[in-house]
Amino acid sequence: MKSLPASFLAASMLLLGCTEPNVPFSADEASTAPVVDQAHNSRNALDWDGRYEGILPCADCEGIQTRLTLQQDGHFQLETRYLGKSEHLFREQGAFEWDSSGQIIRLERSQPGSDQFFVGENVLWQLDMNGQRITGELAENYKLHKAPPAQLAASPLAGTRWQLTELMGQQLPDDNPAYIVFSSTEPRVHGNAGCNRFFGGYELNMEHMRLRLSGIGMTQMACLQDTIEPEFSQVLQSFDNFNLTDDSLTLNRARMAPLARFTAAGPAGK
């Protein structure tokens, strides 16, 4: 069994330091997590066993592609890949236990890292090192989803690395690092804005070709030279629809000229 890199712990600590103060799950936050009594908790009321997938925030990579499988016998299998850093797939397995409330599980891991999750309906919320809920702008990024929406899996947008080739009508050099990837397993997006990496969620309506991003977070590396990052970041926040033709994707606002144009550069992760 391969050991996980130390950057897993560093990623958790760095990103948690950028969030607002952590607070436990409360009954006032039904939109964040379901609250149930002891006789009707996650452990005995939900079909919690199965495979959960997602891309969790990472301090020094594009995101941690994560697959966590929970078994009824109390064992788990964890697979992680550090996107944009290595193609190696790290695997770990072991047992997990429930807390006294029947709401939170703790993975008994051989490696340090965030190992507690609040169990919701078809979703796991990753908790911080103290077992507290992560709040702030990045809160929505700490989720693993059990079942991918059928529309996402079937979307021609998903699973492809879209390389930015034109921004606000200006052609970009072939070696520019900016790109975007839409996940096919959950409504999550990640990419490179020209220097820093970004990640967040997306809402897709294929029937009306509507698309918007939400909860976008970004790393804060110091950029050594001028980049397209400010302009590209603004586009990511302002577009509301898209066009897709063969291997070309454009992001648009209303009926204006395309704000950004992309070319398919192969499968995501390549």
- The CA distance from 222 to 255, in Å, is 35
Q: Are residues 210 and 233 in the same domain?
A: yes
Q: Are residues 255 and 201 in the same domain?
A: yes
Beta carbons of 144 and 66 less than 8 angstroms apart: yes
Q: Are residues 182 and 126 in the same domain?
A: no
* Tokens at 169, concatenated: 């009508």
Say how many domains are in the chain: 2
CATH of residue 109? 2.40.128.640
- The CA distance from 97 to 175, in Å, is 48
What is the residue range of 193's domain?
Answer: 150-267
- Dump strand ranges (E) for the chain: 50-56, 63-70, 75-83, 90-98, 104-107, 116-120, 123-126, 143-145, 160-167, 170-171, 179-182, 188-192, 197-205, 210-218, 241-245, 248-252, 260-267
Let me know if residue 259 belongs to a domain.
Answer: yes
Strand, coil or helix: 229:
helix
Number of residues written out for the chain:
270
Which residue among 84, 115, 145 closes a domain?
A: 145
- Per-residue pLDDT tens digits of the chain, which is 270 residues long: 444 554 444 444 444 444 444 444 443 443 444 454 556 799 999 989 888 988 898 888 888 989 899 999 999 999 999 988 888 989 999 999 999 999 999 999 877 666 899 999 889 999 998 889 998 888 888 999 885 556 666 788 998 999 999 999 999 998 999 999 998 877 889 999 999 999 988 888 887 899 999 889 899 888 887 889 999 999 999 999 999 988 999 999 998 899 999 999 988 865
Residue 109, pLDDT score: 85
Q: Are residues 101 and 217 in the same domain?
A: no
- The CA distance from 64 to 143, in Å, is 12
Place of tokens 């996980």: 4
Q: Are residues 167 and 260 in the same domain?
A: yes
Which residue among 145, 176, 211 closes a domain?
A: 145
CATH of residue 212? 2.40.128.270
Q: What is the pTM of this model?
A: 0.56
- How many CA atoms are closer than 13 Å to the CA of 235, on its beta-carbon side? 27
* Tokens at 137, concatenated: 């702008």
pLDDT digits (tens, 9 = 90+) for 102-159: 999 999 987 766 689 999 988 999 999 888 999 888 888 899 988 555 666 678 899 8
Q: Are residues 187 and 263 in the same domain?
A: yes
